[in-house]
Amino acid sequence: MIEVNGLTKYYGKVKAIDNISFKVEKGEILGFLGPNAAGKTTTMRIITCFIPATGGDAKVAGYDVSRDSLEVRRRIGYVPENVPLYDDMRVKEYLLYRAKLKEIPGRERKKRLSQIIEKCWIGDVQNRIVGQLSKGYRQRVGLAGAMIHNPPILILDEPTVGLDPNQIRQVRKLIKELGGEHTILLSTHILPEVEMVCGRVIIIDNGRLVAIDTPQGLTHRLKGGTRIAIEVRGEGKKIKDEIERIKGVASVKWHEDNQISNYEVELDKNKDLREEISLAITKNGGIIREMKRETMTLEDIFVHITTKEKEVNE
């Protein structure tokens, strides 16, 4: 549904995005991650026909974003980070106005309005003035406006920024429900959000694509994809040195407080060395108070990849 090939964008002499290529399949929710100023919003604004690319091309539902921008806009619902709404209009009035702009025939508008109000859970505020809505309701009204013409593709830029935890859960649930019915490109810096709703993840940094995979696939690709957290009473430094000698241990982080040592042990891929580590600790007089195996989170992976990218560039 979305196909991006070699997309590049300069602002003057500054390269905002550099030769980015990816696809979003029909019915997929694809997470779009990157640090601030990584190029996420620039990419989304090109795909939604707001700005032109300097090089490369992008297609939406088979239509080129530069040559067929009207056809692309008909097939996209775009929700920017700061949703532009008409604060002096009532919610229902605003959505009917959006339906008219999207050329929905008059006899179908009210039917579509009822459907979208129910889908976005805004029935209890449909007669309220937009300017009086909370941030959470504004986001949902913005999403309803983007979906009023039932586009096959939704592009969402930081849809949960500024929301409280309850509002975040509501919007996240709505996005998950929309997957399958719509193809969704979701830009966010909230990494647990991506793990909960996205089937695949793109990570860009400094305008370049540095990873694309499922969250699980990214975990398995990284050395040290498994971690052991251990709390021990004993000679901290001596035990740390002994753990580091075990074949398959990638790294050991250690800190000590009041004769209690905490270790964070990263293992090589597909290794489970809990028995060997336990033996090394007890053999050196340590008493294990707690040991648990952890899998790297998407946040760990994100930091690992973007930090590595910066080191390469330096």
Amino acid at 149: H
Task: Walk along the chain (314 residues) and give the pLDDT tens digit of each residue.
Answer: 899 999 999 999 999 999 999 999 999 999 998 888 889 989 999 999 999 999 999 999 999 999 999 999 999 999 988 888 999 999 999 999 999 999 999 889 999 999 999 988 899 999 999 999 988 899 889 999 999 999 999 999 888 877 788 888 888 888 888 888 899 999 887 777 888 899 999 999 889 998 898 887 776 665 445 789 999 998 889 999 999 999 989 889 999 988 899 999 988 777 889 999 999 999 999 999 999 987 666 777 777 777 655 444 54
Under a CB-based contact definition with an 8 Å cutoff, are residues 195 and 26 in contact? no
User: What's the Cα-to-Cα distance from 8 to each of 11, 156, 206, rounded to whole Å?
Assistant: 10, 21, 12
The set of residues, in sequence order, having a beta carbon less than 8 Å from that of 93 and lying 6+ positions away, is none
Rama region for 66: left / alpha / beta (φ>0; ψ in -120 to 50; rest)? alpha
In this structure, whether the domain defined by 2-75+151-219 belongs to CATH 3.40.50.1370 is answered with: no
Under a CB-based contact definition with an 8 Å cutoff, are residues 215 and 195 in contact? yes
Rounded Cα distance between 179 and 120, Å, is 14
Q: What is the pLDDT of residue 221?
A: 64
Nearest C-alpha neighbor of 239 from the set 275, 268, 279, 273: 279
The DSSP call for residue 164 is -
Q: How many helical (H) and strand (E) elements, i.e. helices and strands, does the chain have?
A: 11, 14
Domains of the chain by residue range: 2-75+151-219, 85-146, 223-295
Q: What is the pLDDT of residue 208?
A: 92
Tokens matching residue 255: 């800190």
Nearest C-alpha neighbor of 195 from the set 45, 300, 41, 304: 300
Query: φ, ψ for residue 227 (rounded to 5)?
Result: -130, 145
For the chain, how big is the Rg over CA atoms in Å? Answer: 24
Partnered with residue 155 across adjacent β-strands are 78, 185
Q: What is the pTM of this model?
A: 0.74
Cα atoms found within 13 Å of the Cα of residue 125, Cβ hemisphere only:
22
CATH code of the region 223-295 = 3.30.70.1340
Query: Beta-strand (E) ranges in 124-225?
Result: 153-157, 183-187, 200-205, 208-213
Query: φ, ψ for residue 19 (rounded to 5)?
Result: 60, 50
Angle at 299 between CA 293 and CA 302, to 5 degrees: 120
